[in-house]
Amino acid sequence: MLKLEARAQTSRLWSLASPLLALAITVVIGVLLFVALGKDPVKGLQVFFWEPIKSPYAIGELMVKATPLLVIALGLAVCFRSNVWNIGAEGQFIIGAVFAGGVALLADKDTSRWIVLVIMLAGIAGGMLWAGITALLRDRFNANEILVSLMLVYVADMVLSFLVYGPWKDPGGYNFPQTKNFEAVTQIPRLMQGSRVSIGLVIALAAVAALWVFLFRTRAGFAQQVGGLAPAAARYAGFSSRKALWIALLSSGGAAGLAGALEVAGPIGQLTPYVPAGYGFAAIIVAFVGRLHPVGMVFSAILMSMFYIGGELAQSRLGLPKSLTGVFQGLLLFTLLACDTLMFYRLRWLAPQVHKGAS
């Protein structure tokens, strides 16, 4: 029989191998799912894992999807390492998009190109403001940040709907709930002609390096992590738990807001009720699959964006529901949680004992 036996210390090998095993199990379950739905599993795997990388254009689209996921996940990593559970990055993403969109709507054909910088700063400010509500309620009233940040997602969604159905609605938009298209001068600069990849990718990669330096090479980053791992030790060392809370939530909210600004002033080009794409929730999976490490989250963001693109292709080519993307995301998260057990426990085979009968 098999028995789970506690390890003396966490296995470093399994901390790296667990996400790979989780991905493999997710693929196997995915194959069984395709078979159960009467679809060719080979074609199913192709649309998820080959189509998104088969051409330079496809890789560019993969980077477009991966950019907001990575930016949001980097901010969430600061929170989770600080033991602050911000589950509302989707709401901060939406409000960041609203703030950025509000600035973009002020532009006309004579506006300076520098407005792009203002748009991104507005997105950061919007996300920080929305996360700041959670920080304030947690700091002053000890409210649960999980519930507060999650409920604020739905408030943010209503704010966006009010604006696009009401005062910001395009009068020439045939009554569709959307703003007018933003002026070309407000568009986030693209890296190359013929591709939708913008400077947001460069910003995201720069943020990866900045977060690595902050977490592993600065006293402030050390204080954040100590506060999350051992609050009593942090207080003894003189680190402020209140400061850590505010830094964690404001940085996370600012990152999500920046992602919202990059999205509406980039690929979307206007505000619509469909701005919320689930990136804020998917980024939680990105953060944990990437082990809350800046470099690891680069690879997990690419993997998650493959799920997004694969889900869209499966809908159009295989006639499968769009919700398949969420199914794969959920499978990856749950299998990762299950495989993480091997970090703390080892499987030991126990031979069955033979009981001798009484003579």
pLDDT of the residue at 354? 62
Give the mean pLDDT of 13-25: 91
pLDDT higher at 84 or 9? 84
pLDDT higher at 233 or 53? 53
pLDDT of the residue at 321? 86
Q: What are phi and psi of 347, to 5 degrees?
A: -85, 125
Which range is least confidently modeled, 84-98, 121-135, 165-179, 321-335?
321-335
Give the mean pLDDT of 316-334: 88
Percent share of the chain, pLDDT over 70? 97
Determine, yes or no, domain membership for 57: no
Determine, yes or no, domain membership for 207: yes
pLDDT higher at 250 or 350? 250
Residue 318 reports pLDDT greater than 60: yes
Look at the chain and report how many structural domains it folds into: 1
Task: Please state the pTM of the whole predicted model.
Answer: 0.93
Determine, yes or no, domain membership for 139: yes
Determine, yes or no, domain membership for 32: no
**Across all residues in the chain, what is the average pLDDT?**
92
CA dihedral (228, 233, 234, 237) in degrees, to 10, reads -160
Query: Which tokens sit at 177?
Result: 């709930």
- Cα 72 off chain centre by: 5
Determine, yes or no, domain membership for 273: yes
pLDDT of the residue at 234? 75
3-state secondary structure string across 207-222? HHHHHHHHHHHCHHHH
Residue with tokens 């379950």: 29
Determine, yes or no, domain membership for 278: yes
Determine, yes or no, domain membership for 16: no
Kindly indicate the confidence band of residue 353, based on its pLDDT and cuts at 50, 70 and 90: low
pLDDT of the residue at 359? 46
Give the mean pLDDT of 3-14: 84
Kindly indicate the confidence band of residue 357, based on its pLDDT and cuts at 50, 70 and 90: low
3-state secondary structure string across the chain? CEEEEECCCCCHHHHHHHHHHHHHHHHHHHHHHHHHCCCCHHHHHHHHHCHHHCCHHHHHHHHHHHHHHHHHHHHHHHHHHCCCCCCCHHHHHHHHHHHHHHHHHCCCCCCCCCHHHHHHHHHHHHHHHHHHHHHHHHHHHCCCHHHHHHHHHHHHHHHHHHHHHCCCCCCCCCCCCCCCCCCHHHCCCECCCCCCCECHHHHHHHHHHHHHHHHHHCHHHHHHHHHHHCHHHHHHCCCCHHHHHHHHHHHHHHHHHHHHHHHHHHHHCCCCCCCCCCHHHHHHHHHHHCCCCHHHHHHHHHHHHHHHHHHHHHHHHCCCCCCHHHHHHHHHHHHHHHHCHHHHEEEEECCCCCCCCCC
Determine, yes or no, domain membership for 307: no
Are the beta carbons of 116 and 248 closer than 8 angstroms? no
Are the beta carbons of 175 and 186 closer than 8 angstroms? no
Domain coverage including residue 251 = 65-298
pLDDT of the residue at 355? 61
